[in-house]
């Protein structure tokens, strides 16, 4: 089993491939705990982090993952690069490739940008978020965090709360969770729910209280404030009052609900500070796991010639 | 039409012979390290870890002193990711405390090309600076591709590149046995 050349999304991956990444991430967690947080697995590989959108957590997480595997990395941001002079995405990537790179990690505001690029260059491409499409490594680190906390994913009830409509994190989570056998629900104002989502076998809750009653895990999505003017919600205060995840609401749950958030958080909007910092929050574990999951993805793709990976599996210890 | 190749399996060490070999290796380690002071056994995943455990217990029985042991998975230190692809399951690496000033004895089941040992030396260096590192293997099958040799060997044999040395240990395989498969 291998991952192929690129990681563009979880939609077309198999449950086996997703499990391979999660299992491979386990030993990488330990690497970050060592006195020398570095292994030579990707020595001599060159990786470009091509970020056309603002990002701190994801970019830094990828950069740590790359450096801890001994790869050489270059960061390119859209502002201050030739992109702002009107160069196309493919031209940018082809120019980078002419400098003999091995992998590209791309974040881009257009859905499908990672796959588009992957089909046009020979380097491995990893999607670090493309428009409203997918953010596969975020979903993978969410899956790993859930598995750490609950020991399994199959049969768990996971509810994505908030702006599901605009969220690539939600989309990747939906694919990953359903493939691994979790029950998935969404909860939020109907203006932020994608139409026809029930057809994917996803339960829809209109009230946060119902979601809390049902769920083992709440993955609270960031309310994308930049979309506020477009009239999706009346006001932030109104949103907090109706959908905010608060200790008072959680107290009514029959079980201790695991609280997740992909960040950056709007404290006091989608999530109350007492919940974000509370005993059932695994928000910082998600960040820690992010580095391990990204190391696993880079490692698996770097040696990712299908026939070779299969041979390695059937070979000796 | 080519006939299917028939595997020919010869037993090199049975359980009793393997037990005697391990006894002797334990004594030789004690001689080499001048006792158990500063001694540390590091097994290479997977069967090296079991063998290190076995030898450590023999030393403890002999000397009445606990010998610290660690485990090393060298997968991420290999130099062949591009040719054989990623190994799907990576084992645990743990070392007991600081290695500085210690005499670390690397324990593995089979010594062949020497590439695993090369990787293990690199990995150990990332955990500290032992005052000495020695190598102890159950079987030395020849065929080295690097200038590496073992200090302590259970059994030496000549093999051809297509041969396989199959080490089984009680803890993982249900019995102690070393076979040559050709």
- In a domain, residue B4? The reply is no
- Flag whether pLDDT at A85 surpasses 80: no
CA distance A68 to A41: 9
Instruction: Identify whether B9 is part of a domain.
Output: no
Whether residue B72 is contained in a domain is answered as yes
> Which residues does B80 contact at the CB level (< 8 Å), separation at least 6?
B115
Give the tens place of pLDDT for each residue, A34-62: 888 999 999 999 999 999 998 889 999 99
Give the helix ranges, DSSP H, for chain B: 15-33, 47-63, 81-84, 115-125, 170-173
Whether B81 and A31 lie within 8 Å, measured CB to CB = no
* Segment A180-207 mean pLDDT: 93
ω before A264 within 30° of 0 (cis)?
Answer: yes
Quick check: pTM over 0.90? no
* Average pLDDT of span B46-60: 96
Q: Nearest CA to B131 among B28, B34, B43?
A: B34
Residues in A lying within 8 Å of B, measured between beta carbons: 1-2, 20, 23-24, 26-27, 30-31, 34-36, 38-42, 69, 299-300, 302-305, 308-313, 315-317
**Residue at B42 is within a domain:** yes
Number of domains in chain B: 1
Give the closest residue to B43 by CA, choosing from B61, B25, B31. B25
A chain contacts of residue B93, beta-carbon cutoff 8 Å: 27, 30
Examine the pLDDT at A313 and tell me if it is beyond 60: no
CATH of the domain at B46: 3.40.50.2020
Compute the nearest-CA separation of B87 from chain A (Å).
6
d(CA B129, CA B100): 5
Nearest to A27 among B47, B92, B126 (CB): B92
Q: Which residue has the tokens 């990681």?
A: A7
Sheet holding B164-168, edge to edge: B9-13, B177-181, B164-168
Q: What is the nearest CA distance from B84 to chain A, expressed in angstroms?
A: 5
* A107 in catalytic set: yes
Residue B144 lies in a domain: yes
Token representation of residue A77: 């941001």
Cα–Cα distance for residue pair A314/A311, rounded to 1 Å: 5
Look at residue B107 and tell me if it is in a domain: yes
Cβ neighbours for A60, distance < 8 A, ≥ 6 positions apart: none
Quote the Cα angle for A257-A261-A266, to 5°: 120
Summarize pLDDT for B113-157 with one digit per residue, the tens: 999 999 999 999 988 899 999 999 999 999 999 999 999 999 999
ipTM comes to 0.77
pLDDT surpassing 90 at residue A309: no
Q: Where are the beta strands (DSSP E) in A95-200?
A: 103-108, 124-130, 157-161, 183-187
B169 assigned to some structural domain: no
Give the residue among A88, A130, A132 at the shortest CA–CA distance from A106: A130
Count CA within 13 A, CB hemisphere, residue A179.
20
In sequence order, the 6+-apart residues with CB closer than 8 A to the CB of A1 are A16, A17, A20, A309, A310, A313, B88
Does any domain span residue B170?
Answer: no
Residues of chain A contacting B88 with CB distance shorter than 8 Å: 1, 20, 23-24, 309, 312-313
Range with the poorest average pLDDT among A8-12, A124-128, B79-83, B162-166 = B79-83
Q: Does B162 touch chain A (CB under 8 A)?
A: no
Paired tokens of A86: 């009107």
Cβ contacts of A20 on chain B, cutoff 8 Å: 88
| pLDDT tens for each residue of A210-256 | 999 999 999 999 988 776 667 788 888 999 999 999 999 999 888 99
pLDDT tens digit sequence for A133-172: 999 999 999 999 999 999 999 999 999 999 999 899 999 9
Instruction: State the DSSP H helix or E strand holding residue A137, giving kind and residue range, or none if neither.
Output: helix A136-150
Q: Are B66 and B60 in contact (CB under 8 A)?
A: yes
Range of the domain at B124: 15-85+98-156
- Predicted confidence at residue A227, as pLDDT, reads 64
**Catalytic site residue from A5, A59, A107, A171:** A107
Using the predicted structure, report yes or no on whether residue A200 has a pLDDT greater than 90: no
Q: Is A85 annotated in the active site?
A: yes
CA angle, residues A143, A182, A170, in degrees to nearest 5: 55
- A312 CB neighbours in chain B (<8 A) are 84-88
CB contact under 8 A, A309 and B127: no
């Amino acid at each position: 089993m291998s991952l192929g050349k690129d990681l563009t999304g979880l939609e077309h991956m198999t449950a086996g491939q997703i499990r391979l990444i999660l299992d491979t991430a386990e030993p990488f967690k330990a690497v970050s705990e060592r006195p020398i947080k570095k292994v030579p697995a990707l020595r001599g590989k060159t990786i470009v982090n091509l970020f056309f959108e603002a990002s701190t957590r994801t970019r830094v997480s990828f950069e740590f993952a790359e450096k801890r595997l001994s790869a050489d990395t270059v960061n390119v941001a859209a502002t201050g690069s030739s992109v702002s002079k009107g160069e196309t995405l493919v031209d940018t990537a082809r120019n980078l490739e002419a400098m003999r790179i091995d992998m590209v990690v791309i974040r881009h505001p257009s859905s499908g940008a990672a796959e588009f690029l992957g089909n046009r260059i020979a380097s491995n491409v990893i999607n670090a978020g493309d428009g409203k499409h997918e953010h596969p490594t975020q979903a993978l680190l969410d899956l790993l965090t859930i598995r750490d906390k609950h020991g399994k994913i199959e049969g768990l009830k996971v509810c994505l709360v908030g702006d599901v409509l605009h969220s690539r994190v939600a989309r990747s989570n939906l694919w990953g969770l359903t493939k691994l056998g979790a029950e998935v629900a969404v909860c939020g104002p109907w203006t932020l729910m994608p139409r026809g989502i029930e057809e994917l076998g996803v339960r829809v809750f209109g009230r946060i209280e119902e979601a809390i009653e049902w769920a083992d895990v709440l993955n609270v999505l960031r309310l994308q404030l930049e979309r506020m003017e477009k009239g999706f919600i009346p006001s932030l205060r109104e949103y907090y009052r109706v959908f905010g995840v608060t200790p008072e609401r959680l107290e009514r749950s029959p079980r201790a609900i695991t609280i997740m958030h992909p960040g950056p958080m709007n404290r006091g909007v989608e999530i109350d500070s007492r919940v974000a910092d509370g005993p059932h929050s695994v928000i910082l574990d998600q960040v820690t796991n992010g580095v391990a999951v990204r190391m696993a993805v880079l490692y698996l793709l770097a040696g990712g010639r299908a026939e070779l990976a299969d041979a390695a599996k059937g070979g000796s210890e | 039409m080519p006939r299917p190749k028939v595997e020919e399996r010869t037993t090199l060490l049975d359980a009793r012979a393997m037990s005697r070999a391990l006894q002797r290796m334990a004594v030789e380690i004690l001689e080499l390290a001048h006792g158990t002071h500063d001694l540390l056994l590091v097994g290479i995943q997977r069967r090296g870890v079991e063998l290190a455990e076995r030898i450590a217990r023999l030393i403890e029985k002999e000397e009445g002193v606990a010998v610290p042991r660690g485990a090393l998975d060298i997968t991420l230190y290999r130099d062949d990711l591009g040719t054989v692809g990623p190994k799907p399951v990576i084992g645990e690496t743990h070392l007991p405390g600081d290695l500085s000033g210690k005499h670390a004895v690397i324990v593995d089941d089979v010594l062949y090309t020497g590439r695993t040992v090369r990787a293990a030396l690199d990995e150990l260096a990332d955990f500290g600076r032992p005052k000495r590192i020695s190598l102890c293997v159950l079987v030395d099958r020849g065929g080295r591709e690097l200038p590496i040799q073992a200090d302590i060997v259970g059994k030496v044999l000549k093999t051809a590149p297509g041969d396989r040395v199959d080490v089984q240990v009680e803890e993982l395989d249900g019995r102690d046995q070393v076979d040559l498969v050709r």
